[in-house]
Structure 1
Amino acid sequence: MNEATDLVRRAREWLAADPDPHTRAELAELLDQGDMTALTDRFGSKLEFGTAGLRGELGPGPNRMNRVTVMRAAAGLARVLKPGDLVVVGYDARHNSDVFARDTAAVLTGAGLRVALMARHWPTPVLAYAVLHLGAAAGVMVTASHNPPRDNGYKVYWGDGAQIVPPLDTMISQAINGVGRVDALPLGDDWATLSAADIVEPYLAAVLGLPLGAARELAVVYTPMHGVGGETLVEAMTRAGFAPPAVVAEQFEPDPAFPTVAFPNPEEPGAMDLALALAAKNGADLILANDPDADRCAAGVPTGDGDYRMLSGDEVGGLLAEHVLRHTSGGDRLVACSIVSSSLLSKIAARYGVHYADTLTGFKWIVKAGTGDERLVFGYEEALGYSVGSDGGLPVRDKDGIGAALTIAGMAALARREGRTLLDLLDDQAREYGLHATGQLSVRVSDLSLITEAMARLRATPPAELGGRAVESAEDLSLGAGGLPPTDGLRYRLAGGARVIVRPSGTEPKLKCYLEVVVPVAGPVAEARTRAAHDLAALRTDLSAALGL
């Protein structure tokens, strides 16, 4: 049997088992047209289940997100769990999220598990909280976070409330590979339905216990970026005693088409334009934004000249860390961040006499940081992900854009009461610890082999100098450098405390490079920022040449 014939055979087998009339119609048309390019794209490979679960474009075939893919994932998960185990299932407002959630519930209950399905779409941190709150063995969240509108995804949480890590991902993936036709799977319909009183109310009570401070006078502009965070965030702020935020009306209601943004990610150019314009109109003290599933949070502040600027993830991370440490106590406290985040957190931890850890990228690693005897009170990653805790530790063992937004508001209100802003607090940190300036260089490719080749070139011939700074050490993170689990990445330490990390993206066809320079502050902070911007630009230029992409 030749390759084309086998491809058509597999497509027809898929068509016969697919329960979705929309993807069946799409696939039938491709078969009728004999479109081998499209069939190869959908059936020539498959979405691999990993520590990020599944994520991909909607459509028929194993290389797409669809009801067959989701039902197979649920059946694989069921084989790793025990009959009678409880699984909590949540979903966002993307295309087919509710359908995929119900399919998951049907497969899991059909396999003998107990399922609690959210009554409606709620933020990802609510699902993560619910796993712990209900004592579940696992949780599933149907979401593609801030991916484009055509995508959807599938996150799996374990009983500790955190996303899965190896070897669980491999076990589930192998179990999925053993699943046969989905139209032969036993399906159930006796799952429980979780109301707001069941999970949203306890979640709100938990985040209202975060170290928010005592000040509440603050004018906030907020956008949920067409996602599911709006109602929960506004309710949380109101209950905490803040004035309701002015919301970006065009982006407040969940809309899977994300009509006002090219890319529903607060970090992307143009995504915050409507919020920035509303803040300028209102004279707001603070801008807050969630991504579509509300596990990330972005913050913007007035610059003092009538304009506003968005803070970087590292800037917010440093401010939140110091705020939390000022409002908590105990020598067992731990703060953690990913290796691609700013090294500033280690210096903050040293000043406050608390434990510090760096981890691989992803909150599944951050929330597992430490030795077990330490109490994690704050974790963050530079991509706008924060988990804020109190003296009792973390209420959510994942990034939480709602809890972070509340805490940022509390921090900004405290500064406002003293006649200051978050920018003043950033200047304080620069004077105390040195100015830690970070940036990125991302290269998107159409052929993933180009990333493999670039990483191989860098491993074979590490650069001796970047941005005018000598490369003092080159670490291959695939060898488990620094006691970390192996991961595909390279870390260069440069003269003067600068650092570069290069790694392939785990969710997109990108090579991502994370840059950091540290500039001592002897005079005006503005002068140090100008120098840092120059140094980061020099690093980008040299690194771009070294990548050869």
Structure 2
Amino acid sequence: MQGLAAYIERTVPNAKERGFVVGHDHRYNSEIFARLTAGVFLTFGFKVYFYTTLVHTPMVPFAIKYLGLSGGVMVTASHNPKQDNGYKVYWENGCQIIPPHDINIAAEIKARNNTTTTWSTTLVDTHLLSITSQTELLKAAYISTITANLLTTPRDRLAATTLRYIYTPMHGVGLAPVTCALERFGLPNAIPVPSQAQPDPSFPTVVFPNPEEKGALDLARSLADRLGVSLVLANDPDADRFAVAEKNRHGEWFVFTGDQIGSILAYAVVLRARAAANATPLKVAMVNSAVSSKMLRSICAAEGFRYAETLTGFKWMSNRVVEFKNEGYDTFFAYEEAIGFMTHECVLDKDGVTALASFVELAILQHERGATMFDLLEELYATYGFHASDNYYFICHDPTIITKIFEQIRFGEKDSDGAVVDHTNFKRESDGVVFKYPLTVAGFPVTYIRDLTAGFEMLDIPAFIQKSGTGLVSLKRGEYEPTLPVSASSEMITFELANECVFTLRTSGTEPKIKYYIEKRGSDRQTVHEHLKAVVKAVGSELFEAAKNNLQ
């Protein structure tokens, strides 16, 4: 924290006077780590806003924007296993840090690792620059801000609903802010899962405290079955993610994917924009990650909204939202397929509480019609096109094999003489590198390639080849540079095919996995599923050569 404090002091104007915020969840030692963090910043002369109670992660970025602070730290391990802990660093704009700040902070930490400013966990209780009286005021400001800006349905109409739903905070900190938000919105109270309602760092009822994990929603669904309730809502332990399950008319539970929830919540923004159309029209911009569904792109195209995709991670999406705001846009939505949703820019990060409230509003409107949220999803497919996806991974414990797989995708298969097998070769004139990407996958022509590892992007490959010919094609600057940041530290390649199939191949930074995210769009569902199945098979057999490389 000494390195972080020194870097912010040196980099952010009036950093110490503006102040810094520190929050924590219920994890083992979270409060101790938060107190140590506050002590370091106080020792550096920062005014420190310290949350004296447990808070959900969005409260830190909210405070930064609301108070105009120089940054903040949230001590949390989110949905990681119970033995983990960590922290998230937010910059003065309310977003998580991105390069070059992360690299510079690491260098500052390394330069200061031989000295200790303070080890006091009590300095925050007595220091003149410590502000501990704002916790409840900031919580109230958060609730007031989201209730003033999020929902469009009249409060009395929401309050009159007979809809019931089960809620689990997954042994985390979500129950308090969710209960408060629902009350202020006029939404019906959630029915909490008793054994998972209160913060407990041991997470006794789940193997892994992540709503996406198999079995994580079992207790909530069991309670719903006993009470005759058909909707289950969940947050992860620090309440920045949101998950949903719904029982269909056949009595079977359907768990919505992050992409499906994202499309539904995007529709809430569509309704908000339509409600404002006759008064002051909203300028809407939407963002999702490169591995998330392109249905958001379809929604934006149909509604006349601005759309952008970013690298994976909310730090990239939130900073893109800031860029849109600077361009004059005033209404925003962002999401990633890993059940993270930003429904309002008062929090420039994923927020499971606002996502839940927005989802419940739509569920009430559906309930009034005698319809379900799955019915709404079907209506969105009918309006914006059916999108089906298959996201999974292969396991490979040998890094050299992973490198070989991606090099073969990038530079092509060589014959016995070492020559590259027949395909168009793209030569980058700046350094002479020749790329040899596959131009068909599962028999479908490749129309677009973006390689964020090597630094290559081509928007319309068939048109380029028709114009430039086959064989060795030289590319000048401006003909191949990706618009997204390039990093050689991890693998990430995206292909689009002529059949409206899009897929991204990437490695994991923490696990021995090669991940794939594949999506097909179309009007005929049988064709969509057939093409999707064919491309999934081809990724494993043609590109990864799973059997040959012993991938699991």
Would you say 1:539 and 2:535 are equivalent positions? yes
| Offset, 1:477 | 1.8
SS at match of 2:172: coil
Relative to the length of structure 1, the TM-score reads: 0.80
Moved more, 283-292 or 187-196: 187-196
Q: Quickly say closer, same or farther: Cα 1:249–1:358, change in 2 above 3 A.
A: same
SS at match of 1:327: helix
State the partner residue of 2:140. 201
| Offset, 1:505 | 2.9
Moved more, 349-358 or 180-189: 180-189
Instruction: Tell me the alpha carbon deviations over residues 154-193 of structure 1, each in whole angstroms, 9 at most, x when there is no partner.
Output: 1111111111111111221111111133545586542221
Structure 2 distance, partners of 1:516, 1:438, is 4
Would you say 1:387 and 2:320 are equivalent positions? no
Structure 1 distance, partners of 2:514, 2:152, is 37
Structure 2 distance, partners of 1:421, 1:194, is 44
Q: Please point out which of 263, 271, 289 is paired with 2:216.
A: 271
Would you say 1:398 and 2:353 are equivalent positions? no
SS at match of 1:439: strand
Structure 2 distance, partners of 1:79, 1:102, is 23
Q: Please point out which of 125, 128, 132 is paired with 2:61.
A: 128
Q: Quickly say closer, same or farther: Cα 1:445–1:380, change in 2 above 3 A.
A: same
Q: Please point out which of 502, 507, 524 is paired with 1:499.
A: 502
Figure out how many residues of one structure are paired with residues of the other and give that number. 469
Structure 1 distance, partners of 2:311, 2:336, is 10
Identity among equivalent pairs (%): 36
Structure 1 distance, partners of 2:193, 2:303, is 38
State the partner residue of 1:299. 244
Structure 2 distance, partners of 1:284, 1:536, is 34
State the partner residue of 2:432. none
Letter paired with 1:458: I
CA RMSD of aligned residues (A): 2.3
Do the aligned residues in 2 keep the contact of 1:207 with 1:403 (CA within 8 Å)? yes
Would you say 1:316 and 2:237 are equivalent positions? no
Structure 2 distance, partners of 1:351, 1:480, is 29
Would you say 1:350 and 2:301 are equivalent positions? yes
Letter paired with 1:205: S
Would you say 1:477 and 2:452 are equivalent positions? yes
Structure 2 distance, partners of 1:501, 1:198, is 44
Letter paired with 1:410: E
SS at match of 1:141: strand
Would you say 1:434 and 2:430 are equivalent positions? no
| Offset, 1:433 | 2.2
Q: Please point out which of 235, 240, 248 is paired with 1:290.
A: 235
State the partner residue of 1:52. none
Structure 2 distance, partners of 1:536, 1:338, is 20
Do the aligned residues in 1 keep the contact of 2:49 with 2:134 (CA within 8 Å)? no
Do the aligned residues in 2 keep the contact of 1:77 with 1:175 (CA within 8 Å)? no
Structure 1 distance, partners of 2:140, 2:384, is 40
Q: How does 1:35-434 map to 2 (within 5 A)?
A: 80-81=11-12, 82-183=15-116, 185=118, 188-189=123-124, 190=127, 191-209=130-148, 210-214=150-154, 215-216=157-158, 217=161, 218-328=163-273, 329=276, 330=281, 332-369=283-320, 370=324, 372-389=327-344, 394-434=345-385
Structure 2 distance, partners of 1:194, 1:207, is 22
SS at match of 2:319: coil
| Offset, 1:248 | 1.2
Do the aligned residues in 1 keep the contact of 2:389 with 2:520 (CA within 8 Å)? yes
Letter paired with 1:211: L
Structure 2: gaps of 5 or more residues: 413-436, 458-481
Do the aligned residues in 2 keep the contact of 1:72 with 1:182 (CA within 8 Å)? no
Letter paired with 2:521: V
| Offset, 1:485 | 1.6
Structure 1: gaps of 5 or more residues: 1-69, 522-527
Q: Quickly say closer, same or farther: Cα 1:180–1:433, change in 2 above 3 A.
A: closer
Q: Please point out which of 523, 526, 537 is paired with 1:520.
A: 523
Instruction: Tell me the alpha carbon deviations over residues 170-227 of structure 1, each in whole angstroms, 9 at most, x when there is no partner.
Output: 2211111111335455865422215542211111112222125244322111111111
Q: Quickly say closer, same or farther: Cα 1:532–1:219, change in 2 above 3 A.
A: farther
